[in-house]
Amino acid sequence: MNAIAVQGISKRFGEHQAVDEVSITVPKGSIYGFIGPNGSGKTTTIRMIMNILVPDSGTVSVLGHTRASDFRDDVGYLPEERGLYKKMTVGRVLRYYGQLKGKPITEIDKEMKEWLARLQLSDWADKKVEQLSKGMAQKVQFIASVISQPELLILDEPFSGLDPVNAEALKDAVLELRSRGTTIVFSTHDMNAAERLCERIFMIFKGRTVLDGTLDEIQKEYALDTVRVRVTGGAPMLTGLPSVESVNDHGNYQDVRLTGDPQAFLQQLVQKTAVQQFEIKKPSLHDIFVRIARPAEADLTAAALGAN
């Protein structure tokens, strides 16, 4: 069974099409990474999954339910814009958030004790939120989203603004939850974290789905068009070859993006110069992300120039 099954949802704000015909299927028990540049529709999609926003069209089913009231208590949600009541104590905030998920106080207290200890916050349970450092507050926010022991956990940018130590602690916590059987969906800009943690990656860009699959599938799809070469004569030898789309010159070697078959390109290259190294490159998620999202910057620049 799927934890999330979204079919062709769209959302428009005035003139702006924020999400356009997006479909996502998140299998139960998986860690699903949600990537995309700022303003691409990630948060809007997550809000529609959480029924905070209602889609203009399409259907959302979470944990087998289409009505939010049927699944809301079993879903933990850490929004990108998150906060805590400054004047409340850590314990009271966590109890309040837990109670809103319908959990009895005894269970909340047990869970709270465990999580506070795990994230080294045990001494802070009776302190007011305003006394916490930013990193501590973020950890408390994370605990607030998992205190109800949800079946599905949706984390919007959980690692942003955390120092490496705290980010690591949170990543471990996510893996621990995964081992307990919790399905986890998180959106992130941190491609390393996504690559390391996620079994499946979903990328949304300009409101549309551009990537959806396992990391292997995605890398295979994008692998064939980039090669790393080291040739006598360097970068100038690569220009003018028919299938070269762009060259990223690193000095001693060059990354070449191709429009055609790498084997044909190798034959052309051998005829032109001596080839010391030829490697079909497995692109990192970061490379793929940048490759998909970069035209947006070009569009923006063009728009800015047009406006001027």
Partner 1 sequence: MSRVLIVAKSEFLTLVKTKAFIISIILMPVLMGAFFLFMSFAARNIDVETRPFAVIDGTGVLFEPLRAAATVRNAQAITDGERTGPEFVPSKVATDMRSSDDLKLELSEQVRTKKLFAFVEIPADVITATGGGVSSVRYYAENTTYEPLPRWLQAALNEEITKLRFDGAGIDQDLIARLNTRIPLSTFGLVERTTDGTVTEAVEVDELARALVPGFFLILMFMTVMTSAQHLLNAIIEEKMSKISEVLLGSVTPVQLLMGKLFGVVGVALLLTFVYFSGALYALFSSGRWDLFDPALLAWFVVFVVCAALLYGSVFLALGSACSDLKDAQSMMQPAIILLLLAYMGSFVVIQNPESNIAIGMSFFPTMTPFAMMLRMAMPPGPPMWHVLLSLAGLIGTTAFCLWAASRIFRVGILMQGKAPTLPELLKWIRA
> CA-based angle 55:61:64, to the nearest 5?
165
- Which whole-number Å values give the CA distances from 271 to 138, 156, 238, in the listed order? 58, 51, 12
Q: For partner 1, which is the closer residue by CB, 15 or 81? A: 81
Kindly state the smallest distance separating residue 57's Cβ from partner 1, in Å: 16
Q: For partner 1, which is the closer residue by CB, 174 or 231? A: 174
- Cα–Cα distance measured from residue 80 to residue 84, given in angstroms and rounded to the nearest whole number: 13
Kindly state the smallest distance separating residue 148's Cβ from partner 1, in Å: 8
Q: For partner 1, which is the closer residue by CB, 154 or 169? A: 154
Sheet holding 208-214, edge to edge: 75-78, 152-156, 183-187, 31-35, 200-205, 208-214
Q: Which helix (H) or strand (E) holds 143?
A: helix 134-146
| One-letter amino acid of 290 | V
φ/ψ (deg, to 5) at 100: -65, -20
Contact residues toward partner 1 (CB under 8 A) are 47, 50, 52-53, 68-69, 72-73, 75-79, 81-88, 96-97, 99-102, 141, 144-145
- Cα–Cα distance measured from residue 94 to residue 88, given in angstroms and rounded to the nearest whole number: 10
Q: For partner 1, which is the closer residue by CB, 79 or 135? A: 79
Kindly state the smallest distance separating residue 85's Cβ from partner 1, in Å: 7
| C-alpha 228, offset from chain centre | 28
Q: For partner 1, which is the closer residue by CB, 95 or 200? A: 95
Q: For partner 1, which is the closer residue by CB, 154 or 227? A: 154
Decide: 54 and 134 in contact? Cβ < 8 Å.
no
Kindly state the smallest distance separating residue 119's Cβ from partner 1, in Å: 18
| Full DSSP string of 95-127 | HHHHHHTT--HHHHHHHHHHHHHHTT-GGGTTS
- Cα–Cα distance measured from residue 54 to residue 72, given in angstroms and rounded to the nearest whole number: 14
